[in-house]
Structure 1
Amino acid sequence: MTVLSTSDLADYYSLRVDLHSHTKCSDGTLTPQELVERAVNFQLNVLAITDHDTVKGLSIAKDYILEKNHPLTIINGIEISTSWHGFEIHIVGLNIDENNQQLQTLIASQQAARELRATTMGEKLTKCGFPGIYQQAKELAGQGSITRAHFAKILLQEGHVDHMQKAFDKYIGKGQRAFVKPNWCSIEEAIAAIHHAGGNAVIAHPVRYDLSTKWLRRLVVQFKAAKGDGLEIVLPQMANEQRKLMLSFCLEYDLHASMGSDFHYPTRWSDLGRNLRMPDQVKPIWDLWH
């Protein structure tokens, strides 16, 4: 677990901080080393690596920083997929001990569920006229966690869709021909594992779940009841109404605030550290790191 002093915490407001990013260890396009280089080039001071249901990238990134003597602090993180009333809700764990046994047990269970989902999705896509796509997606994932994004990338590369979102809209998204309902853990199980690992649990990108305000509030209430710690209320692209709603939920339910780019690959609209500024009214998640 990263240990931060009180002076470090006070400095966070003057530092460039991004608490949500991905590498090739899950569905990002950069290796942990490449992600570190990009963060350094963008003059970030603090970066959380939060790959999907894996912590494989953390030691690689930290070893590389030591080797290159880069001025970058890595926060140990993970993004855990959970099932909630038919929705897939992601819980980010920050400042975790990646070697904690309970967390490792949950990761193993999540990886088994991920592999079963991928093979079943591959079978359905084969029936859609794309034979061998599971093997292609698996090769693309390499040693990383296989995700729907890997299938979408193959469909794009093979010319079956003209952009990745079309793969979800036409084949692998909810309600489509090759969609497979995941067998993820519960929100409560994710929070418990993160806490056992000494970390803090945060609802990732709450405005991106296509939930009504009523259902979003219901999610936040259950998360708070399960002793969740914070909401990711600052993302690179958010409407003013979304910012106001997330801020109000943080204050109403006494939750800490987090922020992150959810970086997977560079785009014109989003990149590491872009448009991330913590509102003055909230308690930032790093206040818990002491």
Structure 2
Amino acid sequence: MSTPKSHDFSNLRVDLHSHTNCSDGVLTPQTLVDRAVNCQLDVLAITDHDTTRGIAMAQQYIRDKQMPLTLISGIEISTAWHGFEIHIVGLNIDTGNPQLQALITQQQQARELRATTMGVKLEKCGFPGVYDAAKALAGEGSITRAHFAKVLHQQGSVSTMQSAFDKYIGKGKRAFVKPGWCEIKEAIAVIHSAGGTAVMAHPVRYDLSAKWLRRLIVQFKEEGGDALEIVLPQMSPDQRRQMLTYCLEYDLYASMGSDFHYPTKWSDLGRHLTLPDNCKAVWQLWQ
């Protein structure tokens, strides 16, 4: 099914944030679609990091199999803000938009430079060949720090993927490389030029104080941002209330998504995703 320009998803099962192996997800676009249908989703957005490559594959698969799933074309753009990496999701975008494709090329070049530099730093830490292994793991998809973490874990250099971030590739660690991402304003403008909706992804995950998170949301709003992702599978009741408060206070629309990369016992497509009744759902912008 094609992306609707006018639709009310209120009574449907919706997940507006997921990843395939075209970035740092595990499943192919086709397998992700299969899983979405098995999870009884009605609407799924594919939002890979700085690429739209998986969307056409998923769309074709849905058409070929005549599957009962509405696919929302999306992307998750990495941006730089005061030393933090902030992710802006674009939903309901025209993937062929020239400005969008130009930004994707720019972001992929920055991603590759970061990856090669990280590989050099990891060699100095005593881990030769990690870049080549991470690049092979990424295949034709966007290379991310998660690929480096997975390689270090597979090689037995760290006990878990998270410990790779904690010890080596996380912010402030020996092999961390500051990314050369675009600014929030540019990401929002490009998403809008592609006819899409700009959503701040997972605000609760940025390790910001309340003061700095408010500052971020104010700037996002001032620069044309449309919505906050206020519902994720793993959020406390207090976090959900606070995100709703920000959404209402700054008159932003509300989005939700699993940020699915691979199935775990804590998170899966569509799990624990329900928007509060008193917010404006992001899909209202598409009506």
Into which bin does the TM-score normalised by the smaller protein fall? Answer: over 0.9
Partner of 1:197: 194
Instruction: Give distance in 1, aligned partners of 2:283 and 2:261.
Output: 23
Gaps of 5+ in 1: none
1:264 aligns with 2:265: no
Aligned partner of 2:163 in structure 1 is: 166
Letter in 2 for 1:173: G
| Matches of 1:3 and 1:34, distance apart in 2 | 22
> Quick one: distance in 1 between partners of 2:123 and 2:62?
42
What amino acid is the match of 2:175?
Answer: A
Question: 1:226 Cα deviation (Å)?
Answer: 0.2
SS of corresponding position for 2:10: helix
How many residue pairs get matched? Answer: 286
Give 1:2's aligned residue. Answer: 3
- Which amino acid is 2:4 matched to? V
**Alignment equivalent of 2:209, drawn from 212, 217, 231:** 212
CA distance in 2, matches of 1:40, 1:224: 34
Name the structure 2 match of 1:253: 250
Partner residue, 1:134: 131
Specify which of 275, 284, 287 is matched with residue 287 of structure 1. Answer: 284
Q: CA deviation at 1:174?
A: 0.3
| CA deviation string 1:150-208 (max 9, x = no partner) | 00000011111111100000000001000000010000000000000000000000000
Equivalent runs, 1:62-81 vs 2, <5 Å: 62-81=59-78
Distance 1:210 1:133 in 2: 28
- What's the C-alpha RMSD, in Å, of the aligned pairs? 0.8
Shift of 1:259: 0.1
Query: Whole-Å Cα distance in 2 between the matches of residues 91 and 17 of structure 1?
Result: 19
Would you say 1:229 and 2:230 are equivalent positions?
no
Corresponding residue for 1:95?
Answer: 92
Q: Which runs of 4+ in 1 moved over 2 A?
A: 1-5
SS at match of 1:92: strand
For structure 2, which runs of at least 5 residues remain unmatched after alignment? none
C-alpha distance in 1 between matches for 2:12 and 2:153: 38
Q: How far did 1:3 drift?
A: 2.8
**TM-score, normalising length: structure 1:** 0.98
Amino acid in the other structure paired with 1:226:
E
Match of 1:264, SS?
Answer: coil
Q: Aligned with 1:14: secondary structure? A: coil
- 1:215 is paired with a residue of what secondary structure? helix
Of all paired residues, the percent bearing the same amino acid is 72
Tell me what 2:154 maps to: 157
TM, length-normalised to structure 2:
0.99
| Distance in 2 between residues matched to 1:232 and 1:22, nearest whole Å | 16
